[in-house]
């Protein structure tokens, strides 16, 4: 099983925020089967707290609920994807579950995209939409191409051009052959910008060099609103000490502290059904 590094990106803030020295940050993080046992490891939880609370919006992929306790309505889906966000940075203005019912191409996705629209007054664009996705390795080409249909539906439904697609796309090496790239509209459409290029390694193993995890934005306006060269993977195994069963690395951040650890613990307790989450600075979808 391969491991992915954290993807991160900065938005350009408005003038007042720039003068104040703040950035709006977004990330995508594949936790690789994060479940009950790892959530009981205080060292791992502190590491995750330090990572996640650094960002305004953070996509967490592959949180496991194999017992079906956390979210009974999702008992047939053992891998849960979460969008955690700071409520003083963004507000959710729309949610959409893609039905994956396009005539002639029903069930294009193994995991249908769940789309979220945000109001983000700290950013230059003020609002944006996220389309997270974790493609199935054996079906990467088809799913990546089908994401273009999701993009078009979201643009039409919400009349927005500021759309970002992100996550573990498996978009390289053996999962996406070069000969198949011409069949992926997400790659051939000129108004889409792939911020993580093919020559960037997003894995943490020294034996692999693949750009699986990606951030893609739609439109020139959105593209210009992003701090140049800020979209990149951050490999914690190269920048900190590894801990836990999956070698989740430790990185020392400037901001979090005990409050962040407590908030993240509550978040995962809610996911895993251990206790109710109190005042939710981080929210779960």
pLDDT at 231 over 60: yes
Give the model's pLDDT for residue 225.
Answer: 86
Mean pLDDT score across all residues of the chain: 71
**Smallest Cα–Cα separation from 171: which of 228, 133, 205?**
133
- Are the C-beta atoms of residues 233 and 6 closer than 8 Å to each other? yes
| Rounded distance between C-alpha atoms, residue 256 and residue 50, angstroms | 6
| Rounded distance between C-alpha atoms, residue 133 and residue 83, angstroms | 12
Q: What is the pLDDT of residues 54-104, one digit of tens each?
A: 778 888 777 665 554 433 433 444 556 777 777 788 889 999 989 867 666
Q: What is the pLDDT of residues 253-263, one digit of tens each?
A: 222 334 445 55
| Rounded distance between C-alpha atoms, residue 141 and residue 195, angstroms | 19
Residue linked to tokens 């993080």: 29
Q: Write the DSSP assignment of 102-140 as a string of letters.
A: -TT-TT--SS--EEEEEE-TTBSSSEEEEEE----GGGH
- The pLDDT of 160-177, averaged and rounded, is 88
Give the model's pLDDT for residue 155.
Answer: 97
pLDDT at 219 over 80: yes
Helices (runs of H) and strands (runs of E) counted in the chain: 8, 13
Instruction: State percent of the chain over pLDDT 90.
Output: 20
Q: What is the pLDDT of residues 26-57, one digit of tens each?
A: 888 777 666 666 666 777 677 777 777 777 88
Alpha carbon of residue 230 to chain centroid: 15
Residue linked to tokens 């039905």: 99
Domains and CATH numbers, the chain: 6-271 (3.60.10.10)
């Amino acid at each position: 099983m391969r491991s992915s590094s954290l993807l991160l990106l900065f938005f350009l803030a408005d003038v007042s925020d720039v003068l104040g020295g703040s950035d709006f940050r977004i990330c995508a993080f594949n936790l690789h089967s994060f479940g009950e046992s790892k959530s009981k490891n205080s060292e791992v939880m502190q590491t995750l707290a330090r990572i996640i609370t650094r960002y305004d919006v953070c996509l967490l992929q592959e949180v496991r609920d194999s017992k079906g306790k956390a979210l009974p309505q999702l008992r047939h889906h053992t891998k849960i994807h979460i969008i955690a966000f700071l409520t003083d940075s963004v507000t959710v203005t729309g949610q959409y579950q893609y039905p994956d019912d396009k005539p002639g191409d029903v069930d294009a996705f193994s995991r249908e995209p769940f789309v979220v629209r945000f109001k983000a007054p700290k950013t230059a664009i003020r609002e944006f939409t996220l389309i997270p996705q974790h493609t199935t390795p054996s079906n990467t080409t088809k799913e990546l191409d089908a994401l273009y249909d999701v993009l078009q539906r979201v643009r039409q439904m919400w009349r927005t051009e500021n759309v970002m697609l992100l996550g573990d796309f498996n978009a390289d090496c053996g999962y996406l052959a070069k000969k198949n790239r011409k069949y992926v509209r997400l790659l051939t459409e000129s108004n889409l910008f792939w911020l993580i290029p093919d020559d960037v390694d997003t894995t943490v193993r020294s034996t692999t060099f693949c750009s699986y995890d990606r951030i893609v934005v739609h439109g020139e306006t959105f593209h210009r609103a992003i701090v140049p060269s800020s979209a990149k993977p951050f490999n914690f195994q190269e920048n900190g000490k590894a801990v836990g069963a999956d070698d989740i690395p430790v990185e020392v951040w400037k901001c979090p502290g005990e409050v962040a650890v407590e908030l993240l613990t509550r978040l995962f307790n809610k996911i895993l059904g251990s206790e109710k989450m109190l005042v939710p600075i981080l929210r779960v979808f």
